[in-house]
Amino acid sequence: MARPRILVVGAGFAGVGCVRRLERRIPPGRAEITLVAPFSYQLYLPLLPQVASGVLTPQSVAVSLRRSQKHRTRILPGGAIGVDPEKKICIVQKVTGEIVDEPYDILVLTPGSITRTFDIPGLPENARGMKTLAEAAYVRDHVIAQLDLADASEDEEERASRLQFVVVGGGYAGTETAACLQRLTTSAVKRYPRLDPSLIKWHLIDIAPKLMPELGDELGKAALDVLTQRGIEVSLGVSIAEAGPEKVTFTDGRTLPCRTLIWTAGVAASPLMATLERETVRGRLAVTPELTVPGLDGVFALGDAAAVPDLTKGEGAICPPTAQHAMRQGRIAADNVLATILHQPLHPYVHKDLGLVVDLGGHDAVSRPLGINLSGVPAQAVARGYHWSALRTGVAKTRVLTNWMLNALAGDDFVRTGFQDQKAGTLKEFEHTDVYLTPDQIREHTAPLHAVH
């Protein structure tokens, strides 16, 4: 009997969690496991704001796949750009640009999400994201460059535009990004004697009426108080009407001189999911509680790109796109893949959210572990303890802990590396959203394969 070919797409929390459990539970030689991943690491996404602010080095949050996996999984360096479920072919673009066809018997889709954007004039050209490691490194360089250029400029209008920073998105990513980067500029400006600290302005805006509504009114207000006390101007019920290279216009009519627009206004499912031509829920592929895709043999989907029913809430609720759910869905998916191979019943995904943590930098944080509201130092201890324990390797844990200690003792650093000076820094450039095939292109591509068979 031929060994079943298990193909896992994506090396985020869900994909890596699935592969690790498959390696533990499937006996050697019983199946072939392939992981499609564009990078040789799993990105610990919740700590990206600390990379952007320089508290952590990029390597600290890039958890090596070679260390976290055993040697049984074949890692294919590339990204899936289309799926033909009828022929059981996944089309992969390798990091070299070469297109290869990967056959599978069981497909586990965990391609994650991309930054959600809207039809706003100038947004694609002038907004910067915070979804990838490269974007975090770019944003850090860009922010420090604005201080350097403002310090060197004799033009008051140019200086004003370089010292205004706008973050769009009042969720966890946007709030933490604004908080961490504001601390960076507050510390850095002391090294710029020609700059007036009062000219540096950070703005956090969101179309929602509340900041991080998932936290509840008490913690949401606590987080808002921390931000406003630091001088961050928070505007709710407001978004961007137009984004230019040197100014932004808000939907309430205000126009700000600004050369730094950081866009974190939510996420959308990977465009890969649309290539399957199946039902979606707000862009996420609809799946059963067992994580299977209805009507597709041997296809599972989970994580940010899948609309997984939240059985603990019921009434049609779906699990939010969080690392907590993705990690646990990965384990259930692995169990159900094994059950499929052994022709055993599948198990539904059921998990009650254990709480939320928001690190605002320094001693500031808000957390709600197991429904208990915390703020300040206790919340910071919980937040960092949770993130540290969630890192998969001892090397990653050591690097992060060392970075935290070094930052606490030595303070912030303000080095601009310049590694990505020649990049435009657009969302499209870093997230590669233009590589996916249409369903017609997929059928045209796999037609010769069908003819051969």
pLDDT tens digits, one per residue of 383-434: 999 999 999 899 999 999 999 999 999 888 888 888 777 777 888 888 888 8
Q: Are 90 and 447 in contact (CB under 8 A)?
A: no
- Per-residue pLDDT, averaged over 155-179, amounts to 96
Write the CB contacts of 343 (distance below 8 Å, at least 6 apart in sequence): none
d(CA 252, CA 274): 35
- Least trusted range by pLDDT, from 3-7, 27-31, 198-202: 27-31
Q: Are 375 and 229 in contact (CB under 8 A)?
A: no
What is the distance, to the nearest Å, from the Cα of residue 181 to the centroid of all Cα atoms in its chain?
A: 18
- Checking if the pLDDT of 267 tops 50, the result is yes
- Checking if the pLDDT of 69 tops 80, the result is no
Q: What SS3 class is residue 222?
A: helix
- Checking if the pLDDT of 449 tops 60, the result is no
Q: Quickly tell me which residue has 């067992």 as its tokens.
A: 290
**Alpha helices, H only, 127-215:** 133-152, 156-162, 172-188
DSSP letter at 318 equals B
| Tokens encoding 222 | 């606590």
- Checking if the pLDDT of 453 tops 50, the result is no
DSSP letter at 56 equals S
d(CA 395, CA 300): 31
Q: Specify the fold of 5-115+268-353+430-447.
A: FAD/NAD(P)-binding domain (3.50.50)
Q: What SS3 class is residue 355?
A: strand
pLDDT 10s digits, 321-341? 999 999 999 999 999 999 999
Contacts by residues 334-338 (CB-CB < 8 Å, ≥ 24 positions apart): 334/17, 334/18, 334/19, 334/20, 334/21, 334/22, 334/25, 335/21, 335/25, 336/290, 336/291, 336/292, 336/300, 337/6, 337/18, 337/22, 337/106, 337/108, 337/300, 338/22, 338/25, 338/26
- Checking if the pLDDT of 452 tops 60, the result is no
d(CA 75, CA 61): 20
**What stretch(es) of the chain map to CATH 3.50.50.60?**
5-115+268-353+430-447, 123-265
- Least trusted range by pLDDT, from 129-138, 259-268, 420-429: 420-429
Q: What SS3 class is residue 295?
A: coil
d(CA 264, CA 169): 5
The count of residues in the chain is 453
pLDDT at position 450, please?
52
d(CA 343, CA 443): 30
- Per-residue pLDDT, averaged over 139-160, amounts to 95
Q: Specify the fold of 123-265.
A: FAD/NAD(P)-binding domain (3.50.50)
Using a pLDDT cut of 70, give the percent of the chain over it.
98
Q: Count the alpha carbons within 13 Å of 105 in the hemisphere toward its beta carbon.
A: 12
Q: Count the alpha carbons within 13 Å of 291 in the hemisphere toward its beta carbon.
A: 35
